[in-house]
Amino acid sequence: MWVTKEVVQEQGQQEQSSSNTTLFHVLDPRVFKRQLLDNLCGLATRVRMLAKSPAGAKLLQDLALNRRAMLYFTQPSTRTFLSFNNACHILGIRTSEIRDRSISSEVKGESFEDAIRTFSSYVDVIIMRSQEPGRAAQAARIMDSIERPVPIIDAGSGSEQHPTQALLDIYTLDRSFSQRGGIDGKVIGMMGDLRRGRTVRSLCYLMRSYTNVRLIFIAPKNFSMRDDVKTHLNEQEIAFVETDCLSEVLPELDALYVTRMQSEWDQEGESNDIDLSQYTVGKKQLAMLKPNGIIMHPLPRGPEIDPIVDADPRAMYWRQERNGMWMRVAILLKLLQLEESVS
């Protein structure tokens, strides 16, 4: 959620629509509205274009030279960590990191509250990923109770939410459909472990900003989208259907968002019982996909996308990965109120 400090204190879940709003924490994707999404996509593109020239790169580099960011990633991460780290560096923001609690004072018994408060003493923004759901929201509440709060960005919390991934996914969809009327009216398939995949959950929450989008969930029986997201979609009147058969729906998709089995959450190896061949994209599936359909994946991938797909122009996941860096620059610019400097 993008929220002003006052809103956090008063209501927690206030919606933000204005591109000019002073923004604070990034926690819950549900509060993003169309104007802000369009604004962030535009900003990401401006930054991407600027960074192409030495003069533009220098301009960006000098924007936030006096700012510092903390990357507090206690759950494994490659892309989100690296893209945030590089996004900070593109803007001249210096970074500190903790990626392992066992080498922080938390191992001496320091509370989460004290750890977060300590980080905030040194930096201007805390970007955090945690195994436990709700940790970033908890950090935000701690911030809102102290004298010098800094923004908290949720870079993935448990199997619940991953708001900045959803933003970069929107940017990727928006760019991919820029010549075809944008995201409105598109049919988007989401496939794989939808129950525990936080990226697809967050992305569903952003769909209400687009008109006539249809979602098709393709998942093995025990890994279907959870009721909380489906209730939200029903409330927002976003059409969705569920199936366990990719081939039945593949020809009508404009985008297929593939996810891996999130086996790290298994209680008893339940991922191993799935016949993954039913939820895989390879040569046969490419032949069934529309000529201008796209394939996305938050990565890392398992066997669900055959590397043979990489060479197909409809494979969008490597671009999606790079889009993540530009979107995260845009998020930081917005948060630090430096947006006007690149307009």
Active-site residues: which are they? 79-80, 108, 129, 162
Please, which residues have CB within 8 angstroms of residue 242's CB and are 6 or more apart in sequence? 216, 217, 218, 219, 224, 225
Q: What single-letter DSSP state applies at residue 88?
A: H
In angstroms, what is the minimal distance from the CB of 165 to ligand NCD? 5
Strands, E, within the chain: which ranges?
Answer: 68-73, 94-98, 125-130, 152-157, 187-191, 214-218, 239-243, 255-258, 294-296
**Which among 125, 55, 121 has a CA at the least distance from the CA of 87?**
125
90 in helix, strand or coil?
helix
The tokens of 268 are what? 């008893």
**Which among 50, 71, 46 has a CA at the least distance from the CA of 61?**
50
The tokens of 203 are what? 């992305």
Nearer to ligand NCD, 149 or 298 (CB): 298
The tokens of 114 are what? 């004290």
The tokens of 237 are what? 């009147």
**Cα 298 to Cα 164: distance, rounded to the nearest angstrom:** 11
301 and 119 Cβ atoms separated by less than 8 Å: no
Q: Kindly report the length of the chain.
A: 343
Which parts of this chain interact with ligand NCD (CB under 6 A)? 79-80, 156, 162, 165, 198-199, 259-260, 298-299
Nearer to ligand NCD, 167 or 213 (CB): 167
Phi, psi of 108 (to 5 degrees): -85, 5
**Cα 91 to Cα 43: distance, rounded to the nearest angstrom:** 13
- Calculate ∠ Cα 6-334-329, nearest 5°: 140
In angstroms, what is the minimal distance from the CB of 271 to ligand NCD? 12
**Cα 23 to Cα 204: distance, rounded to the nearest angstrom:** 22
**Cα 231 to Cα 205: distance, rounded to the nearest angstrom:** 11
201 and 156 Cβ atoms separated by less than 8 Å: no
Query: How many C-beta atoms surround the C-beta of residue 89 within 10 A?
Result: 15
The tokens of 121 are what? 């003493």
